[in-house]
Amino acid sequence: MKKLRWKGGTLLAPVPPVMVSCGDMENANIITVAWTGIINSEPPKTYISVRPSRHSNNIIKEKGEFVINLTPSRLVRTADYCGIYTGKNVDKFAKCKLTKEEANEVEAPLIGECPVALECKVCDVVKLGTHDMFVADIVAVDVEEELVDEKGKLHLERAGLTAYAHGDYFALGKKIGSFGFSTKKKSNKKNKRS
């Protein structure tokens, strides 16, 4: 198929629309960001990119920490709201009826309604132009018990997570494979008749 050539732009998709909580249990804020990801395995590191004009930018710079809360589809309207309105004028936890839960390693609260949270401590701030990139160590991961089976395996597909692509939100769909499935040998099991 023929492809059109456009100038360079921010068209990587889908990305996770995560709700980032910052501050502390008394004075907390939530900002929704889609520019986030894993950048290293050992030690585990992530990043979020936040415009300097955003209320959360200064909070994260002052505190040096934040929590990435993965957004389930049932909270997509809430995530959208938290990405539009500023925490300078509204308490988003109260307005959206979200529960602050104490984290294990950072002062920033977890969002109780989110199934997975990554507790992060900032190790570098990179000024990129329109955004500051907060590079952070993932110091703890909090997972709802219902997502883990009796053998300790995480079933993230049970979380009902959301994806964001070029201005639209999507519920993640059916599983179509697992890491390494393309190289696994096919089973030689034959149908047995009783």
Distance of alpha carbon 55 from alpha carbon 23, whole angstroms: 11
Can you name the CATH fold of 18-183? Pnp Oxidase; Chain A (2.30.110)
pLDDT tens digits, 76-133? 999 999 999 999 999 999 999 999 999 999 999 999 999 999 999 999 999 999 999 9
Q: What does the DSSP assignment read for 35-66?
A: -EEEEETTTTEEEEEE-TTSHHHHHHHHH-EE
Tens of pLDDT, residue by residue over 50-80, are: 999 999 999 999 999 999 999 999 999 999 9
Supply the pLDDT for residue 174. Answer: 85
Question: How far is Cα 117 from Cα 12, in angstroms, rounded to an integer?
Answer: 23
pLDDT band at 178 (very low <50, low <70, confident <90, very high): confident
Share of the chain above pLDDT 90, in %: 89
- Look at residue 173 in the predicted model and tell me its pLDDT: 87
Residue 182 has pLDDT above 50, yes or no: yes
Q: Residue 188 above 70 pLDDT?
A: no
Give the tokens for residue 113.
């309604």
Q: Is the pLDDT of residue 169 over 70?
A: yes
Count Cα neighbours of 18 within 13 Å in the Cβ-side half-sphere: 24
pTM: 0.92
DSSP string computed for 151-177: TS-B-GGGG-BEEEETTEEEE------
Phi–psi pair at 79, nearest 5 degrees: -60, -40
Q: Examine the pLDDT at 189 and tell me if it is beyond 70.
A: no
Domain boundaries, the chain: 18-183
Chain centroid to Cα 115, Å, comes to: 11
pLDDT band of residue 194 (cuts 50, 70, 90) is very low
Prior bond to 14 cis, omega within 30? Answer: yes
The pLDDT score that the predictor gives to residue 29 is 98
User: Which residues lie closer than 8 Å to 37 by C-beta, 6 or more apart?
Assistant: 15, 46, 47
Is residue 179 within 8 A of residue 190, CB to CB? The reply is: no
